[in-house]
Structure 1
């Protein structure tokens, strides 16, 4: 029975969803094509109707995961992003403990350096969009300051999650998240324009 174009696209997306979750949970090399197809509800034989190779699957799954991440470029209005809320969600035990459903950058950036060029390009493009969204939402006045702040904050957030997942000491893992979270909130609010705050009269004015 011939499958419609719309059904093919739906099946393709289902495979990418399954692959991106498995890759984030276990890494590229530890997941086979057969496992991906089974998780998506299809047989191994249908794989080559969608992808040229596993390398092609890796690149597309990485790009797909980065596009649906909360900091993706299709955010309706990046300038309205609540950076405090993003920091809290990202640097939370819940995110740390849910690699399969979490940020692909924190899960897969280190592994991508060993992948072919297509996967590196997908990560690069996704990273550019994430930084652009963070930069647009940043309170700094100048474009270069926004870009610098976005890079610093995103690097701190991703690095903290990687470290929190890597250590075998639960208390240290929690502390990495908490201290980085507090440091970022402090940095963010130090950067807010003073006009956003209500200036209280001094004692000499009363």
Structure 2
């Protein structure tokens, strides 16, 4: 019996969903192709009909995770709303969004040029979004660094009150 025309696309989406979450929470080195495929509910053999290598999957998972995060903010153009959504405790916990910018910041510098290019493109997209929301380039860069850094550091802390304080302080661009 032949697969329906959407089967391959749906399989790839399942793999990318799995990879975006697993890589974001565990990094590149600790997650295997087998783990990504098992989490996606697919066999390892299906991996190679979509990706050439684990690095190829990682780069695509970064873009995919970034696109999912952007979709949640696609109709938001006010700086304060974007900042508040990004610098939220829900985002830090990462159950719904697996932001590659904040979740993988310490993992990316150990990766190949293609993956670093993908991360750079993703960061630039966030900066562009902030500029479209009314900030000039310098303000947008500063705000993005506060947002990404705030979430990244918050994920490493084990003091909930400190996390709350840190996220609140990162919301103040002129502070």
* Aligned counterparts of 2:131 and 2:13: Cα–Cα separation in 1: 29
* Residue aligning to 2:121: 125
Gaps of 5+ in 1: 140-145, 189-206
Shift of 1:5: 4.7
* Aligned counterparts of 2:105 and 2:6: Cα–Cα separation in 1: 32
- Between structure 1 and structure 2, the one with the greater Rg is 1
* Aligned counterparts of 2:30 and 2:98: Cα–Cα separation in 1: 18
1:123-152 residue CA offsets vs partner (Å, 9 max, x unmatched): 11111221111111125xxxxxx1111100
Shift of 1:172: 1.7
* Count of residues in Structure 1 that have an aligned counterpart in Structure 2: 175
1:54 to 2:44 alignment: no
1:123-202 matches, within 5 Å, as 123-139=119-135, 146-181=136-171, 183-184=172-173, 187=174
Gaps of 5+ in 2: none
Q: CA RMSD in A?
A: 2.3
Shift of 1:7: 1.8
* Aligned counterparts of 1:123 and 1:149: Cα–Cα separation in 2: 20
* Aligned counterparts of 1:43 and 1:128: Cα–Cα separation in 2: 35
Runs of 4+ in structure 1 over 6 Å off: none
Q: Match for 2:99 among 103, 113, 125? A: 103
* Aligned counterparts of 1:53 and 1:137: Cα–Cα separation in 2: 37
* Residues 100 and 94 of structure 1, relative CA distance in 2, 3 Å threshold: closer
Determine helix, strand or coil for the equivalent of 1:50: coil
Contact 2:92–2:155 under 8 Å retained in 1 = yes
Report the TM-score, using the length of structure 1 for normalisation: 0.76
* Residue aligning to 1:21: 21
* Residue aligning to 2:88: 92
